[in-house]
Structure formats: C-alpha cells, structure tokens
Structure 1
Amino acid sequence: MVLVSAKRKFTSPATLMKAIAISSVVASTVLVTGCASKPLINGSTRYAAAPDFYTVRSGDTLSGIATRYGLNYVTVAQMNDIAEPYRIFVGQSIRLKNNSNSRNTTTQAIAQAAPIQRQTIALPSNTTASAPVTPAKVTTPTVAKAVTPAPVVAATGLRWVKPSQGSILQSYNLSAGVKGTRYTGKDGDPVYAAADGQVVYAADGLKEYGNLVLIKHINGYITAYAHNSKMNVKSGENVTAGQKIAEMGSTGTTRTMLEFQVRLDGKPINPANVLANN
C-alpha cells in the first residue's frame, strides 16, 4: 500500500489512470507506516460513523481509512474498483457505503471539485412552414438552409460533440480490446473536447497512449484523447464542448489516429451512446 503524496496538485500518470481504470499500472509493495487516524472515539471501542464518500487527504492510506470507520479495506477497494497494491491519490472520492444514494453523492463531489455548470440546450426545430401558393402567381421555391446537427443533451446533463471530424477506424468493442472509438485522420488534424469539463491530465507518461489528455465532467463522466502529436491544454484548465484541445498524431501507436474513450464512474462505455449522430 502506498502513502499519498501532497507535493503535486495532480497525481502521477500511472496512478491517475488506475483511479479511472483506463489501464493497469505496475504493482509495487511498500510497508504502511501507520499514518491513518485512530479508529476510536474518546477512547471507546465505537468507530467513527462512516460517510457515503470520503475524500482522500495527504497521508491517507486505504487501510487507514477503512480502519478509521471499522470497515474492511478489501471490501472498500472492491467497491471502488481499486486493485492491488490499493493505491489512492489526494482528492480522490472513495465510496464507503454501497447504497442507492451513492450516485447522487458522487455527482455532488465532482461538481464541487471543479466549477462546471450544467447546461440546458434547446434543440432546434426541423419543421419548415411551406409558403402558400396562389393560383394567380408563380412563386419561386424557397430553398431551406441546411441545419447543422445540434449537440446531444441527454440524461447525462452534458452537451456532447464529436471529438474529431475524421472517419471511424474502429468502433467500441471490449471483446477486441477497443475501449472507445478510434478516428482516422492526418497529423495535425484538430481534436475537440467532447463536453464541458476540466483537464485533469495532459502528458505522455503512459507509452501505450502517447500524448494523452483526460477531461473530467459532471455526473461521473471522464473522457480520454490519446495519441496526439500536440496538446493545446494543461492540467487544471476548464474547457468547453467543441474547444480544440490537441492535434491528431501517432504517439504511442503505429499510425495516425485519435483514440477517444468515455468513462462513467470509472468504467468504459460506448461513446456512440452519448455523442451526437453527426
């Protein structure tokens, strides 16, 4: 088990990717130095009441948090999809109770962590009124203007746009190891933020993903943009849907492409379920 370091605002690339389950990191074993808070209250044998979620602070360990509230750290790890060696990071929200209110609590914790506003977008009407035609006059037909497909505003509470204008190279297929949608294109083609959010990682610490950008959104969503040739944003920046955040490239892979992933509460979902049908 590894102690949390508070020297940096954001965690190391491998630890962060472990927290959102994008990839496995190399396991290592380090002795716990016992910096967790004492589990007793006023010298009694009564444990502190466990909240639904606990936000990790500097010096916390998973076993220390579990002991503080009279819980089994293995059970807590399983609830949060945290694999051995049970690494956690400062600011991470750890679920301590598995109940029906956990989703709402998660939403509140993420909304408080970044100043992201919910948006309600009115979808345009495609109904075009026909101009009346009188028998005595010949009217020139009116050519309707093309309507650009509007971003989808679904139950996610987010406004979604496509991250690339390139054609689809491979679609989401977990059985084939494809955890998102892969777009083809040329070096330097723009890569767009799929929804409003906050950049939580922009670096090349994971070779298999090359230059990687991670954006955290409301309601438990995280999006990933891999293999970029150039990154136009930094960790901590707030971005809007459709904003250029990177340029397509081939870092970490053998051909030019964008690998776009969507995670909900740490688990991969099909991007086609939330993206606009452009």
Structure 2
Amino acid sequence: MQQVQSQEIAFQSQKWLKVAFLSVAVTTALAFTGCASKPQINNSVRYANAPDYYTVRSGDTLSGIAQRYGLSYISVAQMNDIAPPYTIYVNQSLRLKSSGKKTTTTQSYTDSTPIQRQSIALPNQTQAATPPVQNTVPQNTAPTVTVAPTPTSLKWVRPSSNAIIARYNAAGNIKGVRFGGNLGDPIYSAADGQVVYAADGLKEYGNLVLVKHIDGYITAYAHNSKMLVKSGDNVKAGQKIAEMGSSGASQNMLEFQIRLNGKPIDPATILPLN
C-alpha cells in the first residue's frame, strides 16, 4: 500500500513539473515574439491606474506593456505612430492615454553602453511559395529603403570564408550577401554582440540567428543546419555561432544580412568581402 502511494505522489509531482515547464516555455516565447500576441481587451481597473506616459525599460515589449495596463497594444501603437512589427526601444516614451503632457527622454548608445534586450524586428515573412535559390528571400511588395552605414567602433569580420554566390541587390530584393558552401561549414559572428534570437520561427529563413550590436546594428545568419548559440549569449567577432545548411533554402548556403535601426545595409560597405 505504501509503495502504491509513493508511486502516486511521484506521478503527481511529474505532472506538476510538466505544467510548470510548459508555463515557463509559453512565457519565454511571448517575451521574444513581442507584439505577435492577440490584442488585449481594456480592463477598467488596470486602465485607471495606467500613467499617461510610460518609459520603456529593458525587457519590455509593446504587448507586455499594454497588457499590464489593460490596453490593446494596437491602440498604443496607433497613439505613438509605431508601425508593424511594433519595435520599441529602451528609454522610449510611450503615450498610454489620449490626454496628458508628454515627457521627453533621450536615447543614447555609446561604446560603453551594455547591450540591452528589446523587441527586434525580424526579417519580413510572406506567404509566397518557395522560389528558386536566387529568390529564397521572402518577397516584399513595399520598396526597400537602403541607408548608409553610420560611424561605429565595431570591428567587422567575414561571417564565412566561402565564396559569395549572390550580392546585395535592393532592386532584386536581395537584402544581404549569400555564401555558398557545404553542410557543416562554420558560420562566424561578424562583430561583438549579443544573441537576441536563435530559432526556426520564420520558415523562409530556416534556422536563424540574430545578433544585436552597439550603435543600432543587427546581423542575421539564416539557413543554418545547426545553431551553436542561444538567445542571451554574448559573442565575439569571429566566434563560431552556427554551421551552414539548407534549412529554408534549396541548397547549402548562408544568407547574411546587416541592418541599421531595422533597415538593410549593403554588407560590402562595411565588411571585408573581397
């Protein structure tokens, strides 16, 4: 009898551990998907306690802030002229109510500023069928805005020593550089930074790693066969972070992008590609 009771207690403990693990997993997923969750319905009690303006802190997402005060994140985005994918920044001042005097905050990034976690705009997704190799980047009917690089103390290195099979072409919707190679070839971080995404949530990019750097730069490494880092890891320039593969593509390749404040940069302007 005592043995049966012990087995029952062990079963119940495992059951509750699974429930707790799933709760943590869901919470973590929501933190990184940011504003991809459904709009929240206004809650009168939480809304009454909401300030007129809220200053974004490290780890905040637009949906999380809205839910905290019983608001719809879409309404908050509209009041603050924030367009999809609803990216927000540390020290940004957000209007939560239609009345109230706005306070100003200053956002600054210096070489000594630690890298902060924040909502990161992932590459665009489309519903188009998988195209040939030269068009594996999701198609976007909106015009591509290319900006010039800004001064930075970052030291850049090539993410792959392999040959280039396609170069940046804004008109052709190629938003980065593509390296050919073999399954398992090493992929390196192009500069010092912090991993903010390492998953396969975007089908067109397969196993995708995003690294955030200082001065508004983000680098993307797509189609990996294996990812050797996880979100939150700090990486150095030249550190191996993944292995080449064909996830989300029709051949082994590395799709490498550099973005400045969310907009694509021609990697050739700052990387030693020749």
TM-score band by shorter chain is 0.5 to 0.7
1:149 — aligned with what?
none
- Which of 219, 224, 245 matches 1:249? 245
Cα pair distance change 1:271/1:31, threshold 3 Å: same
**Structure 2 stretches lacking a partner, 5+ long:** 1-24, 95-103, 118-149
Q: Show the counterpart of 2:114.
A: 112
Using the aligned pairs only, state the percent identity: 45
Among 90, 93, 99, the residue aligned to 2:90:
93
Amino acid at match of 1:218: I
Contact 2:200 2:208 (8 Å CA) reproduced: yes
Q: Please give the per-residue CA displacement for 1:92-134, whole angstroms capped at 9, x wherever unaligned.
A: 537448xxx98x724269933459xxxxxxxxxxxxxxxxxxx
1:262 to 258, 261, 264: 258
Higher helix share: 2
| Distance 1:215-1:165 versus aligned 2 partners, 3 A rule | same
Question: What TM-score does the superposition give when structure 1 sets the normalisation length?
Answer: 0.60
After superposition, the CA RMSD in angstroms is 3.9
Q: Higher Cα Rg: structure 1 or 2?
A: 1
Counterparts in 2 of 1:29-68, with a 5 A limit? 29-34=38-43, 35=46, 38-39=49-50, 47=52, 55=58, 56=60, 59-61=64-66
Change (3 A) 1:110 1:77: farther
Task: Classify 1:65/1:238 alpha carbon distance in 2 versus 1 (closer, same or farther; 3 Å).
Answer: farther
Q: Is the 8 A contact 2:184 2:244 kept in 1?
A: yes
User: Shift of residue 8 of structure 1?
Assistant: 2.0
Distance 1:230 1:59, change over 3 A: closer
For the residues of structure 2 that align with 1:163 and 1:182, how far apart are their CA atoms?
10
When normalised by structure 2's length, the TM-score is 0.61
Specify the SS of the correspondent of 1:8.
helix
Total equivalences in the alignment:
203
Cα offset, 1:268, TM superposition: 1.3
Whether 1:186 aligns to 2:182 is yes
Q: Distance in 1 between matches of 2:70 and 2:108?
A: 18
Query: Unpaired segments of 5 or more residues in structure 1?
Result: 19-26, 41-46, 116-153
Paired residue for 2:84, among 77, 82, 85? 82
Q: Does 2:28 align with 1:8?
A: yes
Q: Cα deviations across residues 187-219 of structure 1 (Å, max 9, x unaligned)?
A: 111111000011111121211111111111111
Q: List, as ranges, runs of 4+ consecutive aligned residues in structure 1 with deviation greater than 6 Å.
A: none
